[in-house]
């Protein structure tokens, strides 16, 4: 019984360790992972995951344009294929486009071939949208373990994570004003800020964004793309 209990304890600890490793923001087993830029300049990178969508992407782009802000959009290949005009609009106004996989699967247990297909198909959609810079990759759900980092390493691409996830830091029923104030108060130089804004469920973020941008600018922050912040999207 003691041996069985010990074995179960070891397996539980190993499983917990793998779970923690899969979502680590600043460590992975292969290649490079980026979660923040240098802390010596008052700049931050806003990053938006998922989409694009025909319903909410235009409003998001208008808000950014009104504040003269450039951001980085980690888009899904399938969504770009369904709304090619939206993807082209994002690229045309100077935002950076990164890859968030083809259809947002959990990629931890995928085969190398399936992982590569997710990456290359999405990269083709990004090129079709007119973005000609280097294409960074952000893992769906922020989860990676062995195969995904290994494939990215072989393709000479970093995994891009984040240093601030304000939507997860507050209760789901917290109002937009609270979300904006959290970001304004908590932002630090070099932060990569993870946001979502292109689906019906992201109404709070869209509502908070104007105050968020104005508040950070009042603190002296400038907004840059991921590539400008870190040089990670080589």
Cα-based torsion angle of the residue sequence 219, 222, 223, 228 in order, rounded to the nearest 10 degrees? -140
Catalytic residue among 40, 49, 168, 191: 49
Nearest-angstrom CA–CA distance, 234 and 232: 6
CA 43 to chain centre: 17
In 3D space, the residue among 117, 126, 114 whose CA is nearest the CA of residue 81 turns out to be: 126
153 counts as catalytic: no
Nearest-angstrom CA–CA distance, 89 and 178: 30
Q: State the sign of the Cα–Cα–Cα–Cα dihedral 164, 170, 173, 178.
A: negative
Catalytic residue among 50, 196, 211, 227: 196
Q: What are the backbone angles phi and psi of residue 116, rounded to the nearest 5°?
A: -60, -40
49 counts as catalytic: yes
Q: Would you name the residues annotated as active-site residues?
A: 49, 196
């Amino acid at each position: 019984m003691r041996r069985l209990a010990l074995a179960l304890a070891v397996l539980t600890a190993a499983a917990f360790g793998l779970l923690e490793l899969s979502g680590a923001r600043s460590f992975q087993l292969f290649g490079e992972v980026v979660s923040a830029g240098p802390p010596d300049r008052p700049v931050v990178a806003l990053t938006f995951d998922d989409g694009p969508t025909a319903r909410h992407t235009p409003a998001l782009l208008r808000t950014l344009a009104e504040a003269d802000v450039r951001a980085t959009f980690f888009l899904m290949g399938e969504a770009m294929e369904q709304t090619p005009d939206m993807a082209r609009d994002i690229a045309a106004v100077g935002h950076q486009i990164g890859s968030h996989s083809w259809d947002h699967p959990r990629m931890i247990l995928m085969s190398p071939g399936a992982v590569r297909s997710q990456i290359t198909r999405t990269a083709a959609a990004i090129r079709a949208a007119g973005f000609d810079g280097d294409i960074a990759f952000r893992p769906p759900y922020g989860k990676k373990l062995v195969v995904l980092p290994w494939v990215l390493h072989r393709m000479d691409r970093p995994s891009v994570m984040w240093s601030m996830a304000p939507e997860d830091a507050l209760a789901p029923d917290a109002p937009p004003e609270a979300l904006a104030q959290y970001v304004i108060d908590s932002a630090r130089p070099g932060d990569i800020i993870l946001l979502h804004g292109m689906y019906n469920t992201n109404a709070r973020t869209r509502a908070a964004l104007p105050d968020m941008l104005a508040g950070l600018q009042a603190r002296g922050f400038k907004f840059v793309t991921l590539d400008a912040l870190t040089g990670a999207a080589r």
